Chains A and B, each alone.
Chain A
Amino acid sequence: MLEILREAVFGSLINVIQIALIVIPLMVFIEIIKDLNWLRLLTAAMAPLTSWMKLKKEAGLPLVAGLVFGISYGAGIIIQAAREGTLDYRDIYMINLFLVICHSVFEDTILFAAIGAAWLPVLVFRLLLAVVVCLVVARFWPSYPEHLFREGQKAMKNVLE
């Protein structure tokens, strides 16, 4: 019994310390990304992907935010965009679909790398899977014509004003 307790105490502590040693520098790195505003740069890099999925270019920012910082952060930006009327239902659904498959890529990947998983194939697979699933769904879900959406948005604004 004592042997089992010792295994539990040392095993859990060593593992938590190991994970802490990786998670703390990672969080510093993420704060640096936020400060240097790299999110904008990454969003620009996402432009081909959003256009493949026939999403508005405004969809790039919540996608990148979710990929880097996690699903709650991405959702915050989606809710804001939905309020401002820059994204329609299809955009919002597609962003959600992409992000439930693949999000917080740094934190999640590093957690599993810390316990010994082969992290690179898992990361590449997860990204590819999100892209493929979204492209397939996008193919069968035609987007609302952009010009109609803009007109509707303008009309809505006129009504509100």
Chain B
Amino acid sequence: MGWSTILRGTKNGLAITWELARVIIPVFFCVTILKYSPALPWISEHLVPIMQLVGLPGEAALPLVLGYFLNIYAAIGAMLPLGMSIKEITIMSVMLLLAHSLPMEAAVAKQTGVPVFGLIMVRITLSFLSGMFFNLIL
């Protein structure tokens, strides 16, 4: 342990920041523009019945789907411009932490030799149930 440890950590931290910036900035741009276009209100209006179950506004479906299919960074980039409340951010965080980067992480789990379809279903189910639970207790 010493300077080399700190240097390695800083390097990894910068690498993650770069990965994160590369995703968050473009997604943030797109969602900010979408927010002022008629598209996002239209989409969110149609998703209200589902999102209501977990106490989130319709447009929160966008970061949720991005998180499920891409990764947490994309979800965060899309959440930020929506100006959500602490309660909504917390519900989103529990839902996203239980299910995110599903294609990528399923590929990793597959490498260890287990069937992954069941694991993905467990994650999505737990994600929604936990969202409902946090909506009730917060």
Residues of A within 8 A of B (CB): 4, 7-8, 11-13, 15-16, 19-20, 23-32, 35-36, 71-72, 75, 78-79, 82, 89, 92-93, 95-97, 100-101, 107-108, 111-112, 115-119, 121-122, 125-126, 129, 133
A64 and B35 alpha carbons, distance in the complex (Å)? 41
14 A/B residue pairs, CB under 8 Å, sorted by A: A7-B32, A7-B81, A11-B28, A23-B13, A23-B16, A28-B10, A31-B6, A97-B119, A97-B122, A100-B119, A101-B98, A118-B86, A122-B94, A129-B130
A117 and B98 alpha carbons, distance in the complex (Å)? 15
- Per DSSP, chain A at the interface is helix
* Contact of B29 with A12 in the complex, beta carbons under 8 Å: yes
Q: Which residues of A contact B130 (CB under 8 A)?
A: 125, 129
Q: Which residues of A contact B52 (CB under 8 A)?
A: none
Q: Which residue of A lies closest to B6 (CB)?
A: A28
Most interface-central of B94, B97, B105 (chain A CB within 10 A): B97
Cβ proximity bits B62-101 to A, threshold 8 Å, 1 near / 0 not = 0000000000100011011100001001101110111000
* Contact of A121 with B90 in the complex, beta carbons under 8 Å: yes
* Contact of A108 with B72 in the complex, beta carbons under 8 Å: yes
* Contact of B122 with A100 in the complex, beta carbons under 8 Å: yes
**Which one of A13, A89, A101, A111 contacts B126 once the chains associate, using CB atoms below 8 Å?**
A101
* Contact of B105 with A23 in the complex, beta carbons under 8 Å: no
**Which one of B24, B90, B97 contacts A108 once the chains associate, using CB atoms below 8 Å?**
B97
Given contacts A8-B28, A122-B97, contact A27 B16 (CB under 8 A): yes
* Contact of B9 with A30 in the complex, beta carbons under 8 Å: yes
B138 within 8 A of partner (CB): yes
Given contacts A12-B24, A82-B113, contact A126 B98 (CB under 8 A): yes
Q: Which residues of B contact A95 (CB under 8 A)?
A: 112
Most interface-central of B13, B29, B81 (chain A CB within 10 A): B13
CB distance from B92 to the nearest CB of A (A): 8
* Contact of B5 with A32 in the complex, beta carbons under 8 Å: yes
* Contact of B94 with A79 in the complex, beta carbons under 8 Å: no
A100 and B80 alpha carbons, distance in the complex (Å)? 25
Q: Which residues of B contact A97 (CB under 8 A)?
A: 119, 122
* Contact of A27 with B10 in the complex, beta carbons under 8 Å: yes
Most interface-central of A13, A31, A89 (chain B CB within 10 A): A31
The 4 nearest A-B residue pairs measured at CB: A28-B9, A24-B13, A27-B13, A12-B28
* Contact of B108 with A27 in the complex, beta carbons under 8 Å: no
Q: Which residue of B lies closest to A117 (CB)?
A: B93
